[in-house]
Amino acid sequence: MQNRQVAAIFNELADLLEIEGENPFKVRAYRNAARTIEGLGDALEDMIDRGEDLTKLPGIGEDLAEKIVEIVRTGKLSKLEEVRKEVPDSLRALLSIEGLGPKRVKTLWETLHITDPDTLKKAAEEHKIRELPGFGPKTEENILKGMHLLKQEGIRFLFAEAEAYAIDLKAFLQKAPGLHTVEVAGSFRRRKETVGDLDILCTAAEPQKVINYFIAYDKVVKVISAGSTRSTVILQNALQVDLRVVEQKSYGAALQYFTGSKSHSIALRKIAVDMGLKINEYGVFRGDKVIAGKTEEEVYASIGLRYIEPELRENRGEIEAARDDTLPRLVTLEDIRGDLHMHTTYSDGLDTIEAMVQKAISLNYDYIAVTDHSATLAVVKGLDTKKAAAYLEEIEKLNSRYEEIHIFKGMEVDILEEGKPAMDDAVLDKLDIALGAVHANFKLSGKEQTKRVLKAIRNPHIKGIAHPTGRLIGKREPLDLDMDEIYKAIREEGKFLEINAQPERLDLNDILIREAKEAGVMLAVNTDAHAAGQLEYMRYGINQARRGWLEKGDLINTLPLGKLLQVIGKG
């Protein structure tokens, strides 16, 4: 049981209890527990095995500690099972629509008897929702837009959500009798930002034993099929998993085939046909003779191509680059020297500046930027002028104490509607790195929104733009921006764009990352961490960077400290 799975259970419970009208303090306790758990550096399962006192964790009392143990030991929470029986399952889908939190879902349920997306759509189209207190025509319009986005996304899971199950399943299968190799393929292996299902490939001495072992996995709630070499199951979170056991001699061909993408594989098959060959999941054939198939490398080599990393396999020019020997040498997590966006208890973070510093040191970082929020958004209790003075003083003290790492004085500053940073120049003058970010007024026209961000980019205090398009995957569409104009301004001003590694953001997306690279824009992968453990989200941003064809030299936070100081104008 991964930490993220435990946190997801508490978040779902909080949502359902809020829909039921439960005491707000109890709801908040579950949400805070989820945030604490997501930010942990240690696995809860390991902490429990070591007998550690979970009540020492922030916001975790005896009751919550008991519930954590129950989840880790059994894979479920009896309290959640009870509440699920009281709230219609279809209501949960409404929580994925932009603008519909639990309170509004509760109102829709109680006043209009809306229990699913279909009845919601009908009510919105008949303009019944705008009449409700706290809604109005704009909210009604946004709900319809959000439903369109939900329909486009379909039933998909954030990569990080699927990762928790993929890791657990792979570890489980590695103990199967007679298993030789196991790998998770499909869109998960290509590191797509959302995953529809999990495709797992195995080789084994006795396939049937592996299949029998697989369907006994304790998180399986439904077995769709269980043949001699293939099985399909549904997990407790509704994620479908397909397992295939293949012969070792075909493993490479099967791994390539089931990793995809479909478009990439079709293109490979066309090349093979032109060469008088045939490629399928069993190997590469010349007539009836198998000429390749044990490894992916030999499959690609058989048709005159260099090995192509899974993240690139989208038929976006990678095949031509492999043929011409011009594939990028993709950036790796080990290339990262620091993280330039994180939050602490000075705004909406869970951990102190010192805790973030210590975690960064454990990751062997050379530098970090602490970038707490400006105080524009009341919900984050950010930095005003007075609070900023104490914040900057503490960073200076910690810089003196920790010689092994450099701590940049930073801030994530709201970009106001007119494009001005929401902080006094006197404070901004004292910062090393100010990140501009849009946190409100998302619905401006493309022209107004672009003008707003361009003005921020041209402000001398702003060094970079955080989560540039403002999207939340499957929940909020990106800002309407002229990205070509944004790239041009960033390049001319010597600023950088962020690739935000938060699992629900992953902003920029892979297409925009590649565009930015080709436009000569400086980029940085940052975690936007709100707890020390979230500094490990860097891997999600690196996935995104690799899908965008980035190399080490494309990211400023792969630079040594001296060169980075020059880039941000502090050297």
CB 340 within 8 A of CB 369: yes
Q: What pLDDT is stored for residue 318 in this prediction?
A: 98
Residue with tokens 């143990």: 69
Residues 184 and 266 in one domain: no
My answer on whether 358 and 479 are in the same domain is yes
pLDDT at 320: 97
pTM: 0.86
In order, the DSSP letters of 427-449 are HHTT-SEEEEE--S-TT--HHHH
146 & 29 share domain = yes
The predicted structure's pLDDT at residue 151: 55
Kindly tell me the burial class for residue 516, based on how many C-beta atoms sit within 10 Å of its own C-beta (0-12, 13-18, 19 or more).
buried
DSSP helix, strand, coil percent of the chain (3-state; round to 5) = 50, 15, 35
Last residue of one domain, picked from the residues 153, 172, 193: 153
Q: How far apart are CA 235 and CA 2, in angstroms?
A: 15
Q: Which pLDDT value is given to residue 152?
A: 53
Q: How many domains in the chain?
A: 4
Q: Helix H segments across 174-312?
A: 186-189, 207-215, 251-259, 262-274, 296-302
Tens digit of each residue's pLDDT, the chain (571 residues): 788 889 989 998 999 998 888 888 899 899 989 988 987 878 898 899 999 999 988 889 999 999 999 999 988 899 999 998 888 777 777 777 767 788 888 888 888 888 887 888 888 888 888 888 878 888 888 787 777 666 555 578 999 999 999 999 999 999 999 999 999 999 999 999 999 999 999 999 999 999 999 999 988 989 999 999 999 999 988 899 999 999 999 999 999 999 999 999 999 999 999 999 999 999 999 999 999 999 999 999 999 999 999 999 999 999 999 999 999 999 999 999 999 999 999 998 989 999 999 999 999 999 999 999 998 765 567 898 899 999 999 999 999 999 999 999 999 999 999 999 999 999 999 999 999 999 999 989 999 999 999 999 999 999 999 999 999 988 888 999 999 999 999 999 999 999 999 999 999 999 999 999 999 999 999 999 999 999 999 999 999 999 999 999 999 999 999 999 999 987 6
Q: Cα angle vertex 545, ends 160, 466, to 5°? A: 85
Q: Which CATH number goes with the domain that contains 197?
A: 3.30.460.10
Same domain, residue pair 10 and 143: yes
- Tokens 């951990």 label which residue? 351
Exposed, middle or buried, 276 (CB in 10 Å: 0-12/13-18/19+)?
exposed
Do both 393 and 526 map to the same domain? yes
- Sort strands 220-226 and 367-373 into parallel, antiparallel or unpaired: unpaired
Task: Using the 3D structure, point to which of 245, 267, 283 is the last residue of a domain.
Answer: 245
Do residues 185 and 129 share a domain? no
Burial class (CB in 10 A: 0-12, 13-18, 19+), 70: middle
The span from the CA of 174 to the CA of 512, in Å, is 37
The domain that holds 34 is classified in CATH as 1.10.150.110
What's the pLDDT score for residue 380? 63
- Rounded Cα distance, 461 and 184, in Å: 45
Q: Mark whether 367 and 238 lie in a shared domain.
A: no
- 386 and 516 belong to one structural domain: yes
Residue labelled with tokens 């079709």: 266
CATH number at residue 414: 3.20.20.140
Q: Which domain holds residue 312?
A: 250-324
Q: Of 245, 277, 310, which closes a domain?
A: 245
**Shared-domain flag, residues 513 and 369:** yes
Q: Are residues 240 and 308 in the same domain?
A: no
Label residue 304 left, alpha or beta by phi (over 0 means left) and psi (-120 to 50 means alpha): left
Is 442 buried (19+), middle (13-18) or exposed (0-12) by CB count in 10 A?
middle
In this structure, are 10 and 58 located in the same domain? yes
For 113, the enclosing helix (H) or strand (E) is none
Residue from 456, 1, 62, 395 nearest 218 by CA: 1
Asked whether residue 164 falls in the same domain as residue 302, the answer is no
